[in-house]
A and B are shown apart, each in its own frame.
Chain A
Amino acid sequence: MSTIEANVAGFAVDPTEAPPLSLGQMTWRRFLRHKMAVAGAIMIILLFLYSFGGSFLYTEDFANATDTANRLQPPSAEHLFGTDQIGRDILARTIYGGQISLIIGSAAVLLQTLVGVIIGAIAGYYGGLIDSLLMRFTEAMFNIPQLFLLIVMAKTFAGKIANVQLFGRTFSGSVVIIIVIIGLTSWMYLARIVRAEFLSLKENEFVLAAKATGTSNLQIIFRHILPNSAAPIIVSATLGIANAILSESYISFLGLGVEPPTATWGNMLDRAAGNFNLISTAPWYWITPGMFIVLTVLSINFVGDGLRDALDPRSRSV
């Protein structure tokens, strides 16, 4: 493909002129011009390095080790970010909590995208009765505010999944539950976008051509139409990570999220809920994880915004 393009381009264009840019290059250049998006992308890389590289500095046992003699110590040389209400080191916990929060955000978005794309694609492609049934279901889920649904589902699934052993570490079963419930309560928006894309794309000639040559429906959906609706899906999934991390923090803050001792940025500050004493006397306890959440969500939102501009087909500037 690329050699043909190169040949055609070489034929038509004056050799002194730079070769035309591919779609990917154009997107990349537009993204780079969005300064906040680039800053956000760098910040995300740093946060990943912090959370995953940090495990070389501290062990998870250290992050979960309680020391009741050193409760709620303010930041010091020994505990850079201070200690929490049972004497755990907050620095080490932000590292391991970051891992879980980032894993939950990414995995929940994978699930959300999978469900959203499948439902949206089927509804948009087949239309008719299937479409109305699926869309009524989507609308029904859409009309219950997500946080309410999350709380009910967290309660429904709590304790139903055993702990998981992965990469030599034990992940609390509640991590899996949180991933699943966030994924299952956030796909509706994406499903609507994908459906709308499919509704318009399926009327195109290339779909008719594919049908005429006897391509199966599955092939048309996944090989012909889906790649053409990639841009809005990518943008929505990126912003979805930010929302998933927020959802995790909300549900953990309300005490229904990931169970201790496994840390997440959300459950690291859950004791501050309704505890005025803790809020006023130990601000480091809740400011530190809170700042990590804000920083992550903010960076992802900037990247999402940059991607939206860069992937916009109407924008033709390079």
Chain B
Amino acid sequence: MGRYIIRRLLQAIPLMLIISIILFALMQNMGDPVATLGGRKATRPSDRIRLTRQLGLDKPIYTQYVYWLIGNDWADIDLDGDGIAESKGHRQGVLRGDFGTSLVNRGKPATEVIWDRIPNTMLLMVASEAIIIFFAMLVGVYSALRQYTIMDNVITTLSFVGYSMPIFFIALLSMYLFSVKFKEWGLPSLPTVGMFDPQVGKTPKQVALHMILPVMSIAVISLAAYSRFIRSTMLEVMGQDYIRTARAKGLKGRYVVLVHALKNASLPIVTIVGLDLPLLLGGAIVTERIFAWPGMGRLFLDHVSRLDVPVVMGILMLIALAVIVFQIITDVTYAWLDPRIRYE
């Protein structure tokens, strides 16, 4: 097992390099970041040339990539534009944890800009994932035990509808129902925008209240897919010999379902929890945009539109890394939970 994990980790290195090259190449064509540096005024041509040189954007793309990757403190660069490379660079490179400085938040390291937002996104992700797994188990087991009844068919149809909805449509609908309509009907309505009411302050209660709608929107889509998945694994397990044995021993039906069947049926959930991460993160972009949640997705959108390459690259690399690590964790956990699975 140890060797397997090490091999997977080693394989992840070239993978991350390929990803970084693909993304870096795409970044170069997004536009000229210097154009937006002047704020509302257009950047003066002389400033433009100076900034391009200082940011190292005048270098060929492979040099830029190398500087991004391993830094340029070993190389002499030309800062004053006289054609002579005279000063040492200051960048340390991604491999040493330096993603460069943000162009939008002047002078702030990109890692710091991203780091500020990660807890907010994590809060959404973890809460959604917990809700998804809990309700998916409930719904999945229920419909597996009542296969082909009216309720099962209704749940099946509903999960297809949930699965087919764009996340923003769910978000808009829930906003309209729980905020606009509930207020009209005199019911307690939910807040829709931001993370807390500035008049009340950032109390846990406020954050929890503001979380309800975004978490619900993210959860609905995955919930549909998960409950279908649990339904099918549950049906498969219910047909196994050991379930028949348990029943033959005279164990109560509920005990067999909850202890023998559910324990085994919930193993494969580990795989989809791990593999669903990209979808969840993508959903976060849209929900954070709609509900003005100060997370990483919104940071990404804001900084892409202003061509802040260091921050955008940082977010993308972080996400790619998270996806890869989660895949490895998924595989390892699955093998640990299910002794029938062996990796050589």
Taking Cβ atoms with an 8 Å cutoff, the residues of A that contact B are: 36, 136-137, 139-141, 143-148, 151-153, 155-157, 242, 246, 249-250, 253-254, 269, 272-274, 276, 279-280, 283, 286-287, 290, 293-294, 297-298, 301-302, 305
Q: Are A151 and B30 interface neighbours, CB within 8 A?
A: no
A156 contacts B180, C-beta separation under 8 Å = no
B23/A144 in contact, CB under 8 A = yes
Are A286 and B285 also in contact (CB < 8 A) when A155-B31, A294-B164 are? no
A153 to B26, Cβ gap below 8 A?
yes
Interface flag for B185 (CB, 8 Å): no
Write the nearest CB–CB distance from A281 to chain B, whole angstroms.
Answer: 9
Q: Interface 1/0s, chain B 277-297, versus A by CB < 8 A?
A: 111011001100110100000
Q: With A144-B319, A146-B282, A147-B285 known to touch, is A272 a contact of B23 (CB < 8 Å)?
A: no
* B252-284 to A contact mask, C-beta < 8 Å, 1/0: 000000000000000000000000011101100
Give min CB distance, B300 to chain A, whole Å.
7
The complex places the Cα of A139 from the Cα of B8 at a distance, in Å, of 13
Chain A CB within 8 A of B102 CB: no
Q: How far is A302 from B164 in the complex, measured between Cα atoms in Å? A: 10
Complex interface residues of chain B between 152 and 197 (CB less than 8 A to chain A): 157, 160-161, 163-169, 172-173, 175-176, 179-180, 192-193
Whether B304 contacts A272 by the Cβ 8 Å rule is no
The answer to whether B301 has its CB under 8 Å from any CB of chain A is yes
Contact A152 B23 (CB under 8 A): yes
Q: A137 to B172: give the CA distance in the assembly, Å.
A: 37
Which residues on A sit within 8 Å (CB–CB) of B277? 145
A189 to chain B, nearest CB (A): 11
- The reply to whether B26 and A279 form a contact with Cβ atoms under 8 Å apart is no
B168's contact among A36, A136, A148, A273, by CB below 8 Å, is which? A273
CA distance A157 to B300 in the complex (A): 18
Known: A144-B316, A152-B26. A137 touches B285 (CB 8 A): no
Contacts of B168 in A (CB 8 A): 249-250, 253, 269, 272-273
Instruction: Known contacts A140-B22, A286-B172; decide if A151 and B285 are in contact (CB<8 Å).
Output: yes
Asked whether, in the complex, the Cβ of A274 is within 8 Å of the Cβ of B19, the reply is no
Return B94 CB to nearest CB of chain A, in Å. 16
Query: Which secondary structure dominates where chain B touches chain A?
Result: helix
Which of A136, A146, A147 contacts B18, CB < 8 Å? A136
Inter-subunit contact B161/A298 (CB<8 Å)? yes
**Minimum CB–CB distance for A82 against chain B, Å:** 15
Q: Is the CB of A36 within 8 A of B14?
A: no
Given known contacts A143-B320, A156-B30, A279-B172, is B15 in contact with A253 (CB within 8 Å)?
no
A interface SS class: helix
When the two chains form their complex, are residues B166 and A290 in contact, meaning their CB atoms are under 8 A apart? yes
Q: Which 5 A-B pairs have the closest CB atoms?
A: A147-B282, A145-B278, A298-B164, A297-B164, A140-B18
CA distance A147 to B176 in the complex (A): 25
A250→B168 CA distance, assembly (Å): 8
**Contact between A136 and B14, CB atoms less than 8 A apart:** yes
Which of A140, A148, A152, A276 is in CB contact (< 8 Å) with B193? Answer: A276
A-B contacts, 18 listed (Cβ < 8 Å): A36-B157, A36-B160, A137-B18, A140-B18, A144-B22, A148-B285, A148-B300, A148-B316, A148-B319, A151-B285, A152-B30, A155-B304, A156-B30, A254-B285, A280-B176, A290-B169, A294-B169, A301-B160
Complexed CA–CA distance, A84 and B160 (Å): 30
Residues of B within 8 A of A269 (CB): 168, 172
* B335 within 8 A of partner (CB): no
In the assembled complex, the CB of A308 is this many whole angstroms from the nearest CB of chain B, namely 13
Closest Cβ–Cβ distance, residue B104 to chain A (whole Å) = 15
Contact yes or no, B292 A274, CB < 8 A: yes
Q: Is B114's CB within 8 Å of the partner chain A?
A: no
Contacts of A157 in B (CB 8 A): 29
